[in-house]
């Protein structure tokens, strides 16, 4: 009698465990450490164009000169991040009790998935990432935020406001004007 009633419960417990595992997996890019010396394909600069830097897979990335001068996007990403994301994700992408440590996510989840979450948002129960797809103050600068977070993840820039930056290029200025309308 005990055995017969216990069996369905065990099935429910197993199903619940599987569901929990899936949910945790969806959010755990941020829990995976980033090794500053690590070999991440989305980090090294392969070429630059008009003040923007790209990997060999054409993914935007940061560029830090020997003297610590950061590229314009990284500098601007610092500002934009602290205007739009920091309230939930904590200073410098470090995470908070409410929202994940997205400097790690920027390295682990990949550019396109990162974009997708910011454009469309995501909700897991009460844990809600808003969608920003219609917010130009985010969308026009999402590459900036993304490269800044990657630079933080591998400790290429210290916490806080970068001290020295490249000038904003004409191309970046034109693209910004076009995007902001
Ligand atoms: C109102 C609070 C809030 C704001 C503002 C916010 N986020 Fe989030 N974000 C969250 C929460 C909460 C989650 C976790 C959602 C979940 O559990 O799936 C999240 C998740 C994410 C993820 C997925 C991380 C991962 O490892 O799966 C990314 C990427 C992200 N946010 C980027 C951003 C960026 C970029 C900004 C600023 C433009 C931003 N967020 C602003 C609350 C916020």
Query: Phi/psi at 155 (nearest 5 deg)?
Result: 60, 30
Cα distances (angstroms) measured from residue 177 to each of 16, 17, 30, 147, 173: 50, 50, 33, 20, 6
Domain count, the chain: 1
Q: From CA 51, how far away is CA 8, in angstroms rounded? A: 62
Q: In this structure, which residue's CA is closest to atom 1 in ligand 1?
A: 88
- Indicate the pLDDT class of residue 13, thresholds 50, 70 and 90: low
- Closest ligand 1 atom, CA of 28? 26
pTM for this one?
0.88
Ligand 1 pocket test, candidate residues 95, 96, 102, most atoms within 8 A of CB: 102
133-159 confidence digits (pLDDT tens):
999 999 999 999 999 999 999 999 999
16-45 confidence digits (pLDDT tens):
555 554 444 455 889 899 999 999 999 999
Q: In this structure, which residue's CA is closest to atom 9 in ligand 1?
A: 129
Nearest Cα to Cα of residue 163 among 53, 64, 51: 64
The percent helix, strand, coil of the chain (3-state, each to 5) is 50, 10, 40
**Domain of residue 119, residue span:** 2-180
Q: From CA 23, how far away is CA 43, in angstroms rounded? A: 28
Whether the CB of 107 sits within 6 Å of ligand 1:
no
């Amino acid at each position: 009698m005990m055995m017969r009633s216990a069996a369905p419960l065990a099935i429910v417990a197993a199903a619940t465990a599987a569901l929990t595992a899936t949910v945790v997996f969806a959010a755990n890019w941020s829990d995976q450490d980033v090794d500053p010396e690590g070999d991440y394909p989305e980090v090294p600069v392969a070429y630059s164009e008009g003040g923007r830097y790209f990997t060999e897979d054409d993914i935007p990335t940061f560029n830090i000169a020997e003297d610590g001068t950061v590229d314009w996007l990284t500098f601007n990403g610092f500002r934009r991040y602290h205007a739009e994301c920091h309230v939930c994700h904590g200073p410098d992408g470090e995470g908070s009790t409410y929202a994940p440590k997205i400097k790690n996510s920027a390295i682990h989840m990949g550019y396109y998935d990162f974009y997708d979450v910011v454009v469309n948002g995501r909700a897991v129960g009460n844990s809600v990432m808003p969608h920003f797809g219609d917010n130009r103050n985010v969308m026009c600068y999402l590459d900036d935020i993304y490269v800044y977070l990657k630079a933080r993840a591998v400790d290429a820039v210290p916490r806080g406001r970068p001290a020295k930056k490249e000038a904003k290029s004409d191309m970046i200025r034109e693209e910004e004007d076009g995007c902001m309308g």
